[in-house]
Amino acid sequence: MPLLELTVEQVIELVKQLPSQDQYAVLHAIKASQDAWWLERVARGEQNMRRISAERGLDWDKMSEEEREAFVDSLMHEDE
């Protein structure tokens, strides 16, 4: 299949020409992709926080939300 290069504006205009249910399908596909990306980023971030906290003798999973916030805050201000 040949590759068709379109601008964002052209894609938007093409989607606007679709029937409502097809526009919804396009938006649903985009949202599903964004959700998957976000969940992967959250999982990677949690893995990193578990590793960083373990390096400092802490257990991320046993920390309360307040302890986690304080820990992240201390990491953010380490170099100051």
pLDDT tens across 24-63, in order? 999 999 999 999 999 999 999 999 999 999 999 999 999 9
* Residue 39 backbone zone (phi > 0: left; psi -120 to 50: alpha; other: beta): alpha
Predicted structure pTM score: 0.63
- What is the pLDDT, as a whole number, of residue 31? 97
- What is the pLDDT, as a whole number, of residue 56? 95
Please identify which residue in the block is written with the tokens 């649903």.
Answer: 28
d(CA 78, CA 59): 19
